[in-house]
Amino acid sequence: MITSSQMTNVAGNVHVDTARLARHNVRCTGQGTRTIMFAHGFGCDQQMWRFVAPAFERDWRVVLFDHAGAGPTAPAAYDASRHATLHGYADDVVAIAEALDLHDAVLVGHSVSATIAMLAAIDAPPRFSRLVLIGPTPCFRNEPPSYLGGFERDQLDGLLALMAENYTGWADALAPTIVGGTDAADAAGDTARARAGELRDSICLMAPDVALAFARATFLEDHRATVPHVPVPSLILQCTSDAIAPATVGAWLAEHLPQSTFHQLAATGHCPHLTHPGETIAAIQAYVGDFLSEPAVMQRTDDEARRSATTA
C-alpha cells in the first residue's frame, strides 16, 4: 500500500484520492521527477513487472497497479457493467492518473493493456506523453486481406467456450502458449516453463466470471479504428515468434499508429518482461531516455534484472 511519503513523492501537495488508489492496489516507488506507469496484461498482476520496474526507480517515479479483478484488488474495484469493455479498464487507468495528478507520464502496457493504454491516451492526452506497447494487438481476429490478427473467429469462440467449461484446464493449456519457449531444453526453456507456471497460477487467482468477461473484451473487441487517433508517440515492442501477437500485427500497427517507433525484440514468446527482462529494459530506456536530464541506466543482463528483483 502507498504511504503518505510516497504520495508526496508522486503528487506533491495536491489532494490524493487514496480510496481509489487502494482499490487498485497502487504502489509508487522511485525518486525521479518524471513518472513511468506499468499496466499488466490479462490474467496477470503488477508482480509481473518485478524484473523490469526496479530498473527505473533511480531516475523515475514508478507507478504499479492491478486491473480490476486482478491480484489483491478490492471487490469494489470491479463492476460487471463498467468492465464489460476495455473502455472501462482505460477509464480506471485515467482515474489512477488523475488521483495521482500525473502529467506527461510514460504509460507502458503489455498485451491487452497496450490497447487499454491507447484508449487512455486518447481520453486523457495531458496525462500521458508517450506509450510503450509490448506485444500489442488492437484486434485478435483475422480480417483478410488487410489485417491478420492471428486467429479466426471460431478459434476465439472455442477458446472462450473452453474457458467457460474448464477454467483451470484452459489456464493450463494457454499459459505455455502465451509465454512461449517452454519446449526448449536449456536454461531459457527452464525460465519459460517457470514463468508459464507462474502465469497459470496468476490466471487461476482471478474469479472465473471476472476472467471470462475480461477475456471476451480482450479477444473479441476490435480497436483498429482507434489506432489512428492515438495522440502521443508510441514505441511498439514486437517479440519474435509470438503466438498471441504475431508479426503481422506489429507491422500493421507500425503502418497505422501515428508517431510510432517499431522495435523488433530478439525475445521469443509474448512476455518479454518475464523471460527477457534485460532486453525489455534496454529497449524502453533507449526510447524514453531523452526525457531525463541524466543518461539512462546502463543496459543490464536478464540475470542481473532478475537478481535485482529477487533482492528488492
pLDDT digits (tens, 9 = 90+) for 81-115: 999 999 999 999 999 999 999 999 999 999 999 99
CA distance 121 to 167: 33
Question: How confident is residue 190, by pLDDT bands cut at 50, 70 and 90?
Answer: confident
CA distance 244 to 87: 21
The domain 4-139+224-311 having CATH identifier 3.40.640.10: the answer here is no
Residue 62: the pLDDT is: 98
**Average pLDDT of span 215-227:** 98
- What's the whole-number average pLDDT of the chain? 88
**pLDDT for residue 143 is more than 90:** yes
**pLDDT for residue 168 is more than 50:** yes
Question: How confident is residue 243, by pLDDT bands cut at 50, 70 and 90?
Answer: very high
Q: Which of 59, 66, 91, 111 is catalytic?
A: 111
DSSP the chain: ---HHHHHHHHTTS---HHHHHHTT-EEEE--SEEEEEE--TT--GGGGTTTGGGGTTTEEEEE---TTSTT--GGG--TTGGGSHHHHHHHHHHHHHHTT--SEEEEEETHHHHHHHHHHHH-GGGEEEEEEES--S--B-BTTTB--SB-HHHHHHHHHHHHH-HHHHHHHHHHHHH--TT-SSHHHHHHHHHHHHHHHHHHHS-HHHHHHHHHHHHH---TTTGGG--S-EEEEEEET-SSS-HHHHHHHHHHSTTEEEEEEEEESS-HHHH-HHHHHHHHHHHHGGGSSSPPPPP--HHHHHHHHHH-
Decide if 242 is catalytic: yes
**pLDDT for residue 26 is more than 60:** yes
Q: Which of 45, 66, 242, 302 is catalytic?
A: 242
**Average pLDDT of span 31-56:** 95
**pLDDT for residue 121 is more than 60:** yes
Residue 71: the pLDDT is: 85
The share of the chain scoring above pLDDT 70, in percent, equals: 88
**pLDDT for residue 303 is more than 80:** no
The share of the chain scoring above pLDDT 90, in percent, equals: 72
Residue 210: the pLDDT is: 94
Q: Which of 67, 270, 273, 276 is catalytic?
A: 270
**pLDDT for residue 74 is more than 80:** no
Q: For the whole model, what pTM was predicted?
A: 0.88
Question: How confident is residue 293, by pLDDT bands cut at 50, 70 and 90?
Answer: low
Residue 13: the pLDDT is: 40
Residue 16: the pLDDT is: 62
Question: How confident is residue 65, by pLDDT bands cut at 50, 70 and 90?
Answer: very high
**Average pLDDT of span 156-177:** 93
Residue 75: the pLDDT is: 79
Decide if 111 is catalytic: yes
Decide if 270 is catalytic: yes
